[in-house]
Amino acid sequence: MAFYVDPNIAEAKTLDVDFYLSSKHYQQSKELIFAKSWQLAGDGDQVKEAGWVTPFNFLEHFINEELVLTRDNNNQLHCLSNVCTHRGNLVVERPCKLRDLRCKYHGRRFGLDGKFLSMPEFKEVKGFPSDTDHLASLPLFQWGKWLFTSLTGTIPAEDFFGDMIRRVGWLPVDQFVHRPDLSKEYLVDAHWALYCENYLEGFHIPFVHAGLNAVIDYGNYTVELFRYSNLQLGIAKEGELAFDLPKTSPDYGKRVASYYFWVFPNLMFNFYPWGLSINVIQPAGVSKTRVRFISYVYDESKLRQGAGADLDKVELEDEEIVQMVQRGIRSRFYKFGRYSVTRETGTHHFHRLLAEFMSAPQKP
């Protein structure tokens, strides 16, 4: 089916429900959407010193691409395929410090930059080694401690993250400290896009989030759209916790309670006066989604206050709604909806991007 969402939000209809229910579209989205996206690869602290290597999985349980972060002896960071070019064995099994990478299956060795070094019993092989014997190298983008990679790198990282970085560039993100004790994972019985749609509009806040609605000024809640990202700006009610903004901030003079940045297709960066919650929305099935909350604290004295006071409560409220929507869209009587012109510009923006990417030419 062809995907189309009218650019005029007043006339537009939402995506056909088949996008959320079809196994075919779910599989197509792997290459058409996610392979072209930039995903969180890890934290620079995981490869802080020369020689450190840390394996990770690019969207585990969905794309399942085995990769590894390395820092070589020249202090350069790399993102490499973690699959040996000989017989496909995994090269690095766990975070550790190494001189080079050595496959324990047949002893093939690579530099920490992924370049082939040596291989036993291969002197008689013609045309060896060649470029295909190096570990594949992926693009790597760093902002603060956070490392991002893309399987294709066809769209520059700047197009995804640039507007966010410029907006909150005054924050000392290098000083943010990862807090595993405040991080959490959730499994939601709904399509990943339904979860994102819910995040992308504040329209539901007065109806679903009584606690959040008590601390933010819903009347002054705004949405700004960029090419592959958007921002929801939460304004604090009088007396509630807000950022102490520098004069260099374009929001100086506003009582900002939270910056909710979404980066296409599935990354959410929620900045609060206490720090940051990165939400990674991982497809785990046509109607199942794994949500990872990764918390970084900058000012512990402001924890459990304001818009970011109880993220777990807000998450559970969102899950309840999204799971009911998943059940509802299976109805024979529902095919599409319409958008609130004033409150659902973020969701409309998301649907426009989904239609754009899903309609791209596919490889034969």
Cβ neighbour number for residue 71 with a 10 Å cutoff:
21
**What residues make up the domain containing 111?**
42-149
Let me know if residue 161 belongs to a domain: no
User: What whole-number distance in Å separates Cα of residue 216 and Cα of residue 314?
Assistant: 14
Tokens encoding 161? 């993250």
Strands 109-110 and 101-102: antiparallel
Task: Tell me: do 266 and 323 sit in the same domain.
Answer: yes
Task: Tell me: do 191 and 264 sit in the same domain.
Answer: yes
Let me know if residue 167 belongs to a domain: no
Let me know if residue 158 belongs to a domain: no
Let me know if residue 229 belongs to a domain: yes
User: What whole-number distance in Å separates Cα of residue 73 and Cα of residue 117?
Assistant: 15
Task: Tell me: do 100 and 241 sit in the same domain.
Answer: no
Q: Where are the beta strands (DSSP E) in 152-287?
A: 177-178, 184-188, 222-225, 229-235, 256-263, 267-272, 275-285
Give the residue among 321, 326, 340, 344 at the shortest CA–CA distance from 209.
321
CATH number for the domain spanning 337: value is 3.90.380.10
Using DSSP's 3-state secondary structure scheme, residue 333 falls into coil
Question: Long-range pairs for 11-15 at CB < 8 Å and ≥24 separation?
Answer: 12/338, 12/339, 12/348, 12/351, 13/336, 13/337, 13/338, 14/336, 14/337, 14/338, 14/339, 14/347, 14/351, 15/193, 15/336, 15/351, 15/354, 15/355
Q: Among 18-22, 159-163, 315-319, which is the least confidently predicted range? A: 315-319
Tokens encoding 324? 């009911």
Task: Tell me: do 216 and 321 sit in the same domain.
Answer: yes
| Global pTM value | 0.95
Let me know if residue 160 belongs to a domain: no
Give the model's confidence band at 100: pLDDT under 50 very low, under 70 low, under 90 confident, else very high. Answer: very high
pLDDT tens digits for range 243-295: 999 999 999 999 999 999 999 999 999 999 999 999 999 999 999 999 999 99
Mark which of 97, 130, 149 sits at the end of a domain. 149
CA 350-352-354 angle, to 5 degrees, is 70
Let me know if residue 35 belongs to a domain: no
Mean pLDDT of 209-220: 85
For helices 23-32 and 345-358, give the axis angle rounded to 10 degrees.
80
For residue 60, the model assigns a pLDDT of: 95
Give the model's confidence band at 211: pLDDT under 50 very low, under 70 low, under 90 confident, else very high. Answer: confident
Please say whether the beta carbons of 246 and 252 come within 8 A: yes
Using DSSP's 3-state secondary structure scheme, residue 170 falls into coil
Task: Tell me: do 346 and 211 sit in the same domain.
Answer: yes
CATH number for the domain spanning 71: value is 2.102.10.10
Could you give the number of structural domains in the chain? 2
Q: Where are the beta strands (DSSP E) in the chain?
A: 39-43, 52-58, 65-71, 77-81, 96-97, 101-102, 109-110, 116-118, 137-138, 140-143, 146-149, 177-178, 184-188, 222-225, 229-235, 256-263, 267-272, 275-285, 288-297
Using CA atoms, how far residue 162 sits from 64, 157, 263, 345, in Å, is: 27, 8, 10, 20
Task: Tell me: do 299 and 196 sit in the same domain.
Answer: yes
Using DSSP's 3-state secondary structure scheme, residue 36 falls into helix
Let me know if residue 29 belongs to a domain: no
For residue 212, the model assigns a pLDDT of: 85
Of residues 197 and 215, more confidently modeled: 197
Please say whether the beta carbons of 277 and 308 come within 8 A: yes
Task: Tell me: do 188 and 309 sit in the same domain.
Answer: yes
User: What whole-number distance in Å separates Cα of residue 316 and Cα of residue 305?
Assistant: 18
pLDDT tens digits for range 163-208: 999 999 999 999 999 999 999 999 999 999 999 999 999 878 888 8
Give the model's confidence band at 58: pLDDT under 50 very low, under 70 low, under 90 confident, else very high. Answer: very high
Task: Tell me: do 98 and 209 sit in the same domain.
Answer: no
Let me know if residue 166 belongs to a domain: no
As a residue count, the chain comes to 364
Give the model's confidence band at 136: pLDDT under 50 very low, under 70 low, under 90 confident, else very high. Answer: very high
The C-alpha R_g of the chain, in whole angstroms, comes to 22
Mark which of 101, 134, 149 sits at the end of a domain. 149
Mean pLDDT of 114-123: 96
Task: Tell me: do 223 and 352 sit in the same domain.
Answer: yes
